[in-house]
Structure 1
Protein backbone atom coordinates (compact mmCIF):
# COMPACT_ATOMS: atom_id res chain seq x y z
CA UNK A 1 0.00 0.00 0.00
CA UNK A 2 2.83 2.42 0.93
CA UNK A 3 4.59 1.85 -2.40
CA UNK A 4 1.34 2.65 -4.25
CA UNK A 5 1.03 6.02 -2.47
CA UNK A 6 4.72 6.72 -3.05
CA UNK A 7 4.49 5.81 -6.75
CA UNK A 8 1.43 8.03 -7.17
CA UNK A 9 3.18 10.97 -5.51
CA UNK A 10 6.32 10.52 -7.62
CA UNK A 11 4.25 10.49 -10.83
CA UNK A 12 2.37 13.59 -9.68
CA UNK A 13 5.58 15.42 -8.71
CA UNK A 14 7.40 14.53 -11.94
CA UNK A 15 4.35 15.68 -13.93
CA UNK A 16 4.41 19.05 -12.16
CA UNK A 17 8.18 19.68 -12.33
CA UNK A 18 10.47 18.84 -15.28
CA UNK A 19 7.80 17.42 -17.58
CA UNK A 20 5.23 20.05 -16.61
CA UNK A 21 7.62 22.98 -16.98
CA UNK A 22 7.68 23.67 -13.24
CA UNK A 23 9.46 26.78 -12.01
CA UNK A 24 12.99 26.46 -10.75
CA UNK A 25 13.54 27.05 -7.04
CA UNK A 26 16.59 28.35 -5.19
CA UNK A 27 19.59 26.05 -5.69
CA UNK A 28 20.26 23.77 -2.74
CA UNK A 29 23.90 23.24 -3.88
CA UNK A 30 26.29 25.60 -5.61
CA UNK A 31 25.69 25.39 -9.37
CA UNK A 32 22.67 23.06 -9.21
CA UNK A 33 19.38 23.56 -10.99
CA UNK A 34 16.49 22.62 -8.71
CA UNK A 35 12.79 22.00 -9.24
CA UNK A 36 10.53 21.11 -6.32
CA UNK A 37 6.99 20.06 -5.55
CA UNK A 38 5.01 19.61 -2.33
CA UNK A 39 1.62 18.18 -1.38
CA UNK A 40 0.63 17.77 2.22
CA UNK A 41 3.26 15.79 4.11
CA UNK A 42 5.04 14.81 0.85
CA UNK A 43 7.94 16.79 -0.67
CA UNK A 44 9.92 16.16 -3.90
CA UNK A 45 13.12 17.72 -5.19
CA UNK A 46 14.89 17.20 -8.52
CA UNK A 47 18.39 18.70 -8.30
CA UNK A 48 20.80 18.41 -11.23
CA UNK A 49 23.97 19.83 -12.79
CA UNK A 50 24.77 20.39 -16.45
CA UNK A 51 22.91 20.72 -19.72
CA UNK A 52 23.40 18.33 -22.64
CA UNK A 53 25.54 16.18 -20.33
CA UNK A 54 24.00 16.19 -16.87
CA UNK A 55 23.77 14.38 -13.54
CA UNK A 56 21.17 14.66 -10.84
CA UNK A 57 19.19 13.23 -8.00
CA UNK A 58 15.50 13.17 -7.21
CA UNK A 59 14.47 12.80 -3.57
CA UNK A 60 11.13 12.35 -1.81
CA UNK A 61 10.50 13.20 1.84
CA UNK A 62 7.53 12.14 3.94
CA UNK A 63 6.94 14.24 7.06
CA UNK A 64 10.44 15.68 6.71
CA UNK A 65 12.21 12.30 6.48
CA UNK A 66 13.89 11.18 3.24
CA UNK A 67 12.15 8.01 2.02
CA UNK A 68 13.10 7.61 -1.65
CA UNK A 69 15.79 8.72 -4.09
CA UNK A 70 16.85 8.24 -7.70
CA UNK A 71 20.22 9.15 -9.25
CA UNK A 72 20.70 9.71 -12.98
CA UNK A 73 23.28 10.63 -15.61
CA UNK A 74 22.38 11.52 -19.19
CA UNK A 75 24.23 12.76 -22.25
CA UNK A 76 24.05 13.41 -25.96
CA UNK A 77 26.04 10.71 -27.78
CA UNK A 78 25.54 11.91 -31.37
CA UNK A 79 25.30 15.73 -31.44
CA UNK A 80 24.95 15.71 -35.22
CA UNK A 81 21.72 13.69 -34.83
CA UNK A 82 20.10 15.46 -31.87
CA UNK A 83 20.72 18.48 -29.66
CA UNK A 84 19.64 19.22 -26.11
CA UNK A 85 16.53 21.11 -27.15
CA UNK A 86 15.22 18.31 -29.37
CA UNK A 87 16.15 15.62 -26.85
CA UNK A 88 14.26 17.56 -24.18
CA UNK A 89 11.19 17.82 -26.43
CA UNK A 90 11.21 14.05 -27.05
CA UNK A 91 11.69 13.22 -23.37
CA UNK A 92 8.97 15.60 -22.17
CA UNK A 93 6.46 14.28 -24.72
CA UNK A 94 7.22 10.63 -23.91
CA UNK A 95 7.14 11.11 -20.15
CA UNK A 96 3.94 13.15 -20.36
CA UNK A 97 2.33 10.16 -22.08
CA UNK A 98 3.72 7.77 -19.45
CA UNK A 99 2.73 9.85 -16.42
CA UNK A 100 -0.60 11.06 -17.76
CA UNK A 101 -1.82 7.93 -19.47
CA UNK A 102 -0.34 5.09 -17.49
CA UNK A 103 0.21 6.84 -14.13
CA UNK A 104 3.61 5.24 -13.60
CA UNK A 105 7.18 6.49 -13.75
CA UNK A 106 9.19 3.37 -14.51
CA UNK A 107 9.90 2.46 -18.12
CA UNK A 108 8.95 -0.38 -20.34
CA UNK A 109 7.79 1.93 -23.09
CA UNK A 110 8.55 3.24 -26.56
CA UNK A 111 7.32 6.55 -27.91
CA UNK A 112 7.64 7.73 -31.50
CA UNK A 113 8.35 11.46 -31.86
CA UNK A 114 9.26 13.51 -34.91
CA UNK A 115 12.79 14.02 -33.50
CA UNK A 116 13.43 10.34 -32.66
CA UNK A 117 12.26 7.13 -31.03
CA UNK A 118 12.23 7.28 -27.22
CA UNK A 119 12.87 3.93 -25.51
CA UNK A 120 12.84 3.32 -21.75
CA UNK A 121 13.67 -0.01 -20.14
CA UNK A 122 13.81 -0.71 -16.42
CA UNK A 123 13.69 -3.52 -13.92
CA UNK A 124 12.33 -3.52 -10.40
CA UNK A 125 9.65 -1.41 -8.81
CA UNK A 126 9.37 1.82 -6.88
CA UNK A 127 11.14 0.17 -3.92
CA UNK A 128 14.33 -0.68 -5.87
CA UNK A 129 14.97 -0.23 -9.58
CA UNK A 130 17.41 0.59 -12.34
CA UNK A 131 16.97 1.48 -15.95
CA UNK A 132 17.99 3.35 -19.06
CA UNK A 133 16.24 5.73 -21.42
CA UNK A 134 17.49 6.49 -24.90
CA UNK A 135 16.56 8.32 -28.05
CA UNK A 136 17.27 6.61 -31.37
CA UNK A 137 17.66 8.75 -34.49
CA UNK A 138 18.39 7.28 -37.92
CA UNK A 139 18.76 3.85 -36.27
CA UNK A 140 21.56 5.15 -34.00
CA UNK A 141 21.51 5.81 -30.28
CA UNK A 142 21.80 9.60 -30.12
CA UNK A 143 21.05 10.17 -26.40
CA UNK A 144 21.04 7.99 -23.29
CA UNK A 145 20.40 8.26 -19.58
CA UNK A 146 21.05 5.69 -16.84
CA UNK A 147 19.05 5.80 -13.62
CA UNK A 148 18.68 3.81 -10.41
CA UNK A 149 17.02 4.26 -7.08
CA UNK A 150 14.55 3.13 -4.50
CA UNK A 151 13.55 3.34 -0.88
CA UNK A 152 15.85 4.92 1.68
CA UNK A 153 15.98 2.99 4.92
CA UNK A 154 17.22 4.72 8.04
Structure 2
Protein backbone atom coordinates (compact mmCIF):
# COMPACT_ATOMS: atom_id res chain seq x y z
CA UNK A 1 0.00 0.00 0.00
CA UNK A 2 1.31 3.44 -0.91
CA UNK A 3 1.99 6.30 1.48
CA UNK A 4 -1.04 8.24 0.19
CA UNK A 5 -3.37 5.30 0.86
CA UNK A 6 -1.95 4.74 4.34
CA UNK A 7 -2.28 8.41 5.26
CA UNK A 8 -5.94 8.51 4.20
CA UNK A 9 -6.89 5.40 6.17
CA UNK A 10 -4.99 6.38 9.31
CA UNK A 11 -6.34 9.95 9.27
CA UNK A 12 -9.94 8.80 8.75
CA UNK A 13 -9.63 6.08 11.39
CA UNK A 14 -8.66 8.80 13.90
CA UNK A 15 -11.64 10.94 12.87
CA UNK A 16 -9.40 13.81 11.75
CA UNK A 17 -10.29 15.98 8.74
CA UNK A 18 -7.70 17.21 6.25
CA UNK A 19 -8.08 20.70 7.70
CA UNK A 20 -7.46 19.46 11.26
CA UNK A 21 -4.40 17.47 10.20
CA UNK A 22 -3.02 20.47 8.33
CA UNK A 23 -3.45 22.61 11.43
CA UNK A 24 -1.69 20.09 13.65
CA UNK A 25 1.26 19.95 11.24
CA UNK A 26 1.25 23.69 10.52
CA UNK A 27 0.88 23.14 6.78
CA UNK A 28 -1.86 24.09 4.31
CA UNK A 29 -4.87 21.87 3.65
CA UNK A 30 -3.79 21.82 0.01
CA UNK A 31 -0.53 20.18 1.09
CA UNK A 32 -2.40 17.37 2.86
CA UNK A 33 -4.66 16.95 -0.18
CA UNK A 34 -1.63 16.58 -2.44
CA UNK A 35 -0.06 14.02 -0.08
CA UNK A 36 -3.24 11.93 -0.06
CA UNK A 37 -3.63 12.15 -3.84
CA UNK A 38 -0.03 11.04 -4.38
CA UNK A 39 0.88 14.25 -6.18
CA UNK A 40 3.71 15.15 -3.81
CA UNK A 41 5.54 13.59 -0.87
CA UNK A 42 6.02 15.27 2.54
CA UNK A 43 9.51 16.24 3.61
CA UNK A 44 11.32 14.42 6.41
CA UNK A 45 10.18 16.84 9.12
CA UNK A 46 6.52 16.36 8.19
CA UNK A 47 7.04 12.59 8.10
CA UNK A 48 8.45 12.72 11.62
CA UNK A 49 5.48 14.81 12.76
CA UNK A 50 3.05 12.31 11.21
CA UNK A 51 4.92 9.47 12.88
CA UNK A 52 4.66 11.10 16.30
CA UNK A 53 1.04 12.17 15.83
CA UNK A 54 -0.22 8.72 14.80
CA UNK A 55 2.25 6.68 16.90
CA UNK A 56 3.66 4.78 13.93
CA UNK A 57 7.16 4.55 12.50
CA UNK A 58 8.45 6.60 9.60
CA UNK A 59 9.60 3.34 8.03
CA UNK A 60 6.04 2.03 8.03
CA UNK A 61 4.76 5.24 6.42
CA UNK A 62 7.27 5.32 3.58
CA UNK A 63 7.57 1.59 2.87
CA UNK A 64 5.35 0.72 -0.09
CA UNK A 65 3.69 -2.61 0.64
CA UNK A 66 0.59 -3.79 -1.15
CA UNK A 67 -1.76 -5.66 1.13
CA UNK A 68 -2.63 -8.07 -1.64
CA UNK A 69 1.03 -8.96 -1.96
CA UNK A 70 1.22 -9.86 1.70
CA UNK A 71 -1.65 -12.27 1.13
CA UNK A 72 0.21 -14.05 -1.68
CA UNK A 73 2.37 -16.03 0.72
CA UNK A 74 1.97 -19.78 0.85
CA UNK A 75 -0.65 -20.50 3.51
CA UNK A 76 -0.66 -23.58 5.62
CA UNK A 77 -3.69 -25.80 5.26
CA UNK A 78 -5.40 -24.32 8.32
CA UNK A 79 -5.21 -20.76 6.95
CA UNK A 80 -6.43 -21.86 3.52
CA UNK A 81 -9.37 -23.59 5.18
CA UNK A 82 -10.13 -20.57 7.34
CA UNK A 83 -10.24 -18.16 4.39
CA UNK A 84 -12.26 -20.55 2.22
CA UNK A 85 -14.74 -21.08 5.05
CA UNK A 86 -15.07 -17.34 5.76
CA UNK A 87 -15.86 -16.54 2.13
CA UNK A 88 -18.36 -19.39 1.99
CA UNK A 89 -19.99 -18.25 5.25
CA UNK A 90 -20.39 -14.70 3.93
CA UNK A 91 -22.30 -16.02 0.90
CA UNK A 92 -24.58 -18.09 3.14
CA UNK A 93 -25.52 -15.48 5.75
CA UNK A 94 -26.33 -11.73 5.52
CA UNK A 95 -24.78 -11.20 2.08
CA UNK A 96 -26.65 -14.23 0.77
CA UNK A 97 -30.06 -13.02 2.00
CA UNK A 98 -30.24 -15.72 4.67
CA UNK A 99 -32.70 -15.32 7.53
CA UNK A 100 -31.11 -14.23 10.82
CA UNK A 101 -31.07 -16.67 13.71
CA UNK A 102 -32.33 -15.78 17.17
CA UNK A 103 -31.07 -12.48 18.61
CA UNK A 104 -28.26 -12.88 21.13
CA UNK A 105 -28.85 -9.39 22.59
CA UNK A 106 -31.82 -6.97 22.63
CA UNK A 107 -32.29 -5.64 19.11
CA UNK A 108 -29.36 -7.51 17.56
CA UNK A 109 -29.26 -9.09 14.13
CA UNK A 110 -27.48 -12.44 14.26
CA UNK A 111 -26.37 -14.85 11.54
CA UNK A 112 -24.59 -18.16 11.87
CA UNK A 113 -23.15 -20.77 9.51
CA UNK A 114 -21.51 -24.09 10.33
CA UNK A 115 -19.54 -26.53 8.19
CA UNK A 116 -17.38 -29.35 9.49
CA UNK A 117 -15.18 -28.15 12.35
CA UNK A 118 -15.90 -24.46 11.63
CA UNK A 119 -18.61 -22.12 12.90
CA UNK A 120 -19.17 -18.52 11.73
CA UNK A 121 -21.14 -15.95 13.69
CA UNK A 122 -22.05 -12.39 12.69
CA UNK A 123 -23.93 -10.06 15.02
CA UNK A 124 -24.71 -6.36 14.63
CA UNK A 125 -26.76 -3.58 16.18
CA UNK A 126 -28.40 -0.51 14.70
CA UNK A 127 -29.75 0.43 11.30
CA UNK A 128 -28.56 3.45 9.33
CA UNK A 129 -25.71 3.56 11.86
CA UNK A 130 -24.51 0.10 12.80
CA UNK A 131 -21.85 -1.70 14.78
CA UNK A 132 -21.02 -5.38 14.71
CA UNK A 133 -18.59 -8.25 14.93
CA UNK A 134 -18.00 -11.41 12.93
CA UNK A 135 -16.06 -14.31 14.37
CA UNK A 136 -15.02 -17.85 13.47
CA UNK A 137 -14.47 -20.86 15.73
CA UNK A 138 -12.77 -24.16 14.94
CA UNK A 139 -13.60 -27.09 17.19
CA UNK A 140 -15.08 -24.65 19.69
CA UNK A 141 -12.00 -22.39 19.82
CA UNK A 142 -12.20 -18.79 18.58
CA UNK A 143 -9.62 -18.31 15.80
CA UNK A 144 -10.70 -15.12 13.97
CA UNK A 145 -12.58 -11.90 14.74
CA UNK A 146 -13.38 -8.63 12.99
CA UNK A 147 -15.25 -5.58 14.30
CA UNK A 148 -16.94 -3.04 12.06
CA UNK A 149 -18.72 0.30 12.50
CA UNK A 150 -20.46 2.14 9.68
CA UNK A 151 -23.28 4.37 8.57
CA UNK A 152 -25.53 5.13 5.60
CA UNK A 153 -25.05 8.70 4.42
CA UNK A 154 -27.80 9.05 1.82
CA UNK A 155 -31.17 7.54 0.99
CA UNK A 156 -29.68 6.24 -2.27
CA UNK A 157 -27.64 3.67 -0.34
CA UNK A 158 -28.38 0.16 -1.63
CA UNK A 159 -28.17 -2.80 0.72
CA UNK A 160 -28.46 -5.09 -2.28
CA UNK A 161 -25.31 -3.58 -3.79
CA UNK A 162 -23.40 -3.97 -0.50
CA UNK A 163 -24.40 -7.63 -0.33
CA UNK A 164 -23.23 -8.09 -3.92
CA UNK A 165 -19.89 -6.55 -2.96
CA UNK A 166 -19.45 -8.78 0.08
CA UNK A 167 -20.19 -11.90 -1.97
CA UNK A 168 -17.46 -10.81 -4.42
CA UNK A 169 -14.58 -10.69 -1.91
CA UNK A 170 -11.51 -12.42 -3.42
CA UNK A 171 -9.36 -14.93 -1.52
CA UNK A 172 -6.35 -12.59 -1.61
CA UNK A 173 -8.43 -9.83 0.06
CA UNK A 174 -10.97 -11.70 2.24
CA UNK A 175 -11.76 -8.91 4.72
CA UNK A 176 -14.82 -7.18 3.23
CA UNK A 177 -15.06 -6.61 -0.55
CA UNK A 178 -12.66 -6.21 -3.50
CA UNK A 179 -10.47 -3.10 -3.62
CA UNK A 180 -12.77 -1.77 -6.34
CA UNK A 181 -16.18 -2.97 -7.51
CA UNK A 182 -18.72 -1.32 -9.77
CA UNK A 183 -22.25 -2.25 -10.81
CA UNK A 184 -24.63 0.12 -12.54
CA UNK A 185 -24.57 3.53 -10.86
CA UNK A 186 -22.84 2.21 -7.72
CA UNK A 187 -19.12 2.03 -6.95
CA UNK A 188 -17.38 0.40 -3.98
CA UNK A 189 -13.83 1.12 -2.78
CA UNK A 190 -11.84 -0.20 0.16
CA UNK A 191 -8.31 0.23 1.48
CA UNK A 192 -6.66 -2.11 3.99
CA UNK A 193 -3.55 -1.77 6.15
CA UNK A 194 -1.93 -4.98 7.36
CA UNK A 195 -2.67 -8.60 6.54
CA UNK A 196 -4.74 -11.52 7.81
CA UNK A 197 -3.01 -11.52 11.22
CA UNK A 198 -3.68 -7.86 12.06
CA UNK A 199 -5.52 -5.44 9.80
CA UNK A 200 -7.65 -2.32 9.64
CA UNK A 201 -9.56 -0.89 6.72
CA UNK A 202 -12.04 1.65 5.44
CA UNK A 203 -14.72 1.11 2.78
CA UNK A 204 -16.98 3.50 0.88
CA UNK A 205 -19.91 3.25 -1.53
CA UNK A 206 -20.71 5.94 -4.07
CA UNK A 207 -23.86 6.46 -6.12
CA UNK A 208 -23.17 8.65 -9.14
CA UNK A 209 -20.08 10.06 -7.38
CA UNK A 210 -22.04 10.87 -4.19
CA UNK A 211 -20.79 9.02 -1.12
CA UNK A 212 -23.74 7.14 0.37
CA UNK A 213 -22.04 4.76 2.82
CA UNK A 214 -18.84 4.34 4.84
CA UNK A 215 -17.53 1.73 7.26
CA UNK A 216 -14.38 1.18 9.32
CA UNK A 217 -13.27 -2.36 10.17
CA UNK A 218 -10.39 -4.04 11.97
CA UNK A 219 -9.46 -7.51 13.18
CA UNK A 220 -7.24 -10.52 12.66
CA UNK A 221 -6.56 -14.11 13.60
CA UNK A 222 -6.58 -15.12 17.25
CA UNK A 223 -4.12 -18.01 17.02
TM-score (norm 1): 0.85
Cα distance in structure 1, aligned partners of 2:178 and 2:115: 28
Cα distance in structure 1, aligned partners of 2:104 and 2:134: 12
Structure 2 gaps, min length 5: 1-75
Relative to its length, the structure with more strand (as a share) is 1
Supply the RMSD in Å over aligned alpha carbons.
1.7
Q: CA deviation at 1:137?
A: 2.5
- The answer to whether the Cα contact below 8 Å between 2:100 and 2:110 also exists between their aligned partners in 1 is yes
- Tell me the residue number matched to 1:9: 85
Structure of greater relative contact order (alpha carbons < 8 Å, 6+ residues apart) = 1
- The answer to whether the Cα contact below 8 Å between 2:193 and 2:199 also exists between their aligned partners in 1 is yes
Relative to its length, the structure with more helix (as a share) is 2
Larger Rg: 2
Count of matched residue pairs: 145
Q: CA deviation at 1:4?
A: 1.8
Cα distance in structure 2, aligned partners of 1:152 and 1:132: 21
TM-score (norm 2): 0.60
4+ residue stretches of structure 1 with deviation over 4 A?
none
Structure 1 gaps, min length 5: none
Is structure 2 residue 124 aligned with structure 1 residue 53? no
